[in-house]
Amino acid sequence: MFALDDIDRKLLGEISKDSKRSYRDLAKAIGVSTATVINHVQRLESAGVIRDYSVRIDHERLGYELTVITEIVVSKGKLLEMDREIAKIPNVCAVYDITGETDAMVVAKFKSRSSLSDFTKGLLAMPYIERTNTHVVLTTIKEDFRLIEDL
């Protein structure tokens, strides 16, 4: 586990809000010098805490009106192999190994029922997938993986 100091926490909070901000703007926002921000960002990147910079996209505005959560049961010993294959599918947003009656949980987004149907049938055609159970999300209350407050 990487130990964050107060500057790191403030910096990660600001970068999480808007990753396009300049070092100078970040420095002003957290009350340190631009050089300090540069040093901390480089340290966080080197440690793998900051892995990438990205944008938050409103997928519904792009036509991805269906979000699904699919439970998957996999034959013994093949879970990681199947997880890696499922993670390569373009519509897949997240793949989790979980505890409970199912082995994995997949979150994916689709523009149409037919693309969702193709996805589900594709999963079931994979050699070690025994069973799936797909839940269609009716309303998204919150979808944000940024953990700003608890840094």
Number of domains within the chain: 2
Whole-Å CA distances, 67 to 70, 76, 91, 97, 147 = 10, 28, 10, 19, 22
pLDDT of the residue at 148: 64
15: Cβ–Cβ under 8 A, 6 or more apart, which residues?
21, 26, 41, 50, 53
Are residues 17 and 72 both part of a single domain? no
* Same domain for 75 and 16: no
| Nearest by Cα to 46 from 8, 102, 77, 16 | 8
Classified as helix, coil or strand, 22 is coil
Per-residue pLDDT of the chain (151 residues; tens, 9 = 90+): 788 999 999 999 999 889 999 999 999 999 999 999 999 999 999 999 999 988 888 999 999 999 999 999 999 889 999 999 999 999 999 999 999 999 999 999 999 999 999 999 999 999 999 999 999 999 999 988 777 666 5
Looking at the fold, whether 30 and 99 belong to one and the same domain comes out as no
Token pair of 20, please? 């396009």
**Cα distance between residue 60 and residue 137, in whole Å:** 12
3-state secondary structure of 45: helix
Q: What is the CATH number of the domain that holds 18?
A: 1.10.10.10
**66 and 122 share one domain:** yes
User: What pLDDT does residue 46 have?
Assistant: 95
The reported pLDDT for the residue numbered 109 is 97
User: Do 63 and 39 reside in the same domain of the chain?
Assistant: no
Domain membership flag for residue 79: yes
The answer to whether residue 146 is domain-embedded is no
128 and 65 both lie in a single domain: yes
pLDDT of residue 146: 75
- Do 14 and 70 fall into the same domain? no
| pTM of the complete model | 0.81
Q: Which residues contact 118 (CB under 8 A, 6 or more apart)?
A: none
Same domain, 132 and 95: yes
- Domain that residue 94 falls in: 59-136
CATH of the domain at 86: 3.30.70.920
- DSSP code for 95: E
The C-alpha atoms of residue 44 and residue 29 are separated, in whole angstroms, by 18
